[in-house]
Amino acid sequence: MNLQLYTDIIKDIINKSNELYIYNLIWIWLTALIILISVVYKFIEYGAKPYKEKENKPHPVETFSMAAVIVIIFNILQADIGVLETDLTARVAAASYGLILSAAGCFIHVWSKSTLGKYWSNMIEIQEGHKIITAGPYSIVRHPMYSSIILWLIGSSIMFLNYAALILILFIYTPMMIARANAEDKLLKEADPTGFAIHSASVKQLVPKFEGWFSMVLRFALIALFITLVIYGEMTPVRIGIIIAAHVFTGLLMKTPKVGFSYINKSVIILITYMISLFFPHAKWFYFVIILFNIWGLFSNCPCMMIYEKYNRCPCFDLFKKCVRPQK
């Protein structure tokens, strides 16, 4: 009797859904270990090579407070609290897409620490020989260590389809990073007004803007996610939510304005298509048209990009205003 019970438990643990959960756990703990090693190394390096400080300002948001929130997020992910219920295909597709984002976040974080070199500190300070770093990941975002952790956490929450963790990341952890980045920017501006003005004019504070091969990786990942969710299984609110969120997220990370616009614009078209398909099922075939537009946009200007080049926005908003506002 007990043997049969244990056998049933083992079978349940190794079913496909639980396997995916275990693989996700292994991945996030592996990337967390890599990030932790990079942090410990920097603490050792900083302690072994103290630099004369020009100015040192303690801040409530530092390594340990950041780590405390991350631990809470990890506990939520492990406990499977706040998970969107959906089919296995959607979960695998989301896990694959989230893995790419979390891997990118982990890589950029380690790259950022390496690029920053001796200027890394747990405190907000200006060190001897200070200069504003503009190379490597600092050419795509001013605070890549913070934005990379956010990207890593968002990717991890997508892997688990965990909305509770995502809410915590967006409304607790991200504001913490913004507060820390603002404090650092203020000190950098005081130390080097000209250098900071030049750098901040072309590089965002926390939202990285990608181009080249990395932007192509994100765009191919989005297309693969879109195709998988459209072809394998029925479109559900969870599936459509994943697709729309991925389009908006990709759009925000694109450096070229017309490319970013095209993905955000397509997210609206996808939502409209889904709503129409609820009443006219054949409308779902338009998803394939949007997929073709996404593929088209990899190599040339898709229709959404053409619209942006002509109007610098979607003319639908102007048309909507004309419809809802009476003509004088």
Q: Summarize the confidence of residues 159-175 as an average pLDDT.
A: 96
Dump pLDDT digits (tens) for 217-261.
999 999 999 999 999 989 999 999 999 999 999 999 999 999 999
114, 35 Cβ separation under 8 angstroms: no
pTM: 0.86
Dump pLDDT digits (tens) for 43-81.
887 665 554 444 455 667 777 888 899 999 999 998 888
Residue-level pLDDT at 279: 95
Gap between the Cα atoms of 94 and 225, Å rounded: 7
What is the pLDDT confidence band of residue 192, given thresholds at 50, 70 and 90? confident
Residue-level pLDDT at 282: 93
Dump pLDDT digits (tens) for 30-39.
999 999 999 8
Gap between the Cα atoms of 130 and 188, Å rounded: 9
Question: pLDDT at residue 270 above 60?
Answer: yes
| Concatenated DSSP letters of 184-208 | HHHHHHHH-HHHHHHHHHHS-SSS-
More confident residue, 98 or 116: 98
Question: pLDDT at residue 263 above 70?
Answer: yes
CA distances from 325 to 93, 178, 285, 314, 322 (A): 43, 38, 33, 18, 5
Q: Summarize the confidence of residues 256-267 as an average pLDDT.
A: 95
Question: pLDDT at residue 317 above 80?
Answer: no
More confident residue, 263 or 53: 263
Residue-level pLDDT at 57: 58
Residue-level pLDDT at 14: 46
99, 195 Cβ separation under 8 angstroms: no
What is the pLDDT confidence band of residue 2, given thresholds at 50, 70 and 90? low
The candidate with the shortest Cα–Cα distance to 105, out of 311, 306, 249, is 249
Residue-level pLDDT at 49: 57
HSE (side-chain half, CA atoms, 13 Å) at 133? 23
54, 126 Cβ separation under 8 angstroms: yes
More confident residue, 81 or 3: 81
The candidate with the shortest Cα–Cα distance to 270, out of 302, 294, 299, 297, is 294
Give the percent of the chain with pLDDT over 70: 84
Gap between the Cα atoms of 166 and 38, Å rounded: 24
Q: Summarize the confidence of residues 297-305 as an average pLDDT.
A: 93
* DSSP classification of residue 84: P
Residue-level pLDDT at 53: 47
Question: pLDDT at residue 16 above 80?
Answer: no
Domains of the chain: 23-208 (1.20.120.1630), 210-328 (no CATH)
Residue-level pLDDT at 26: 92
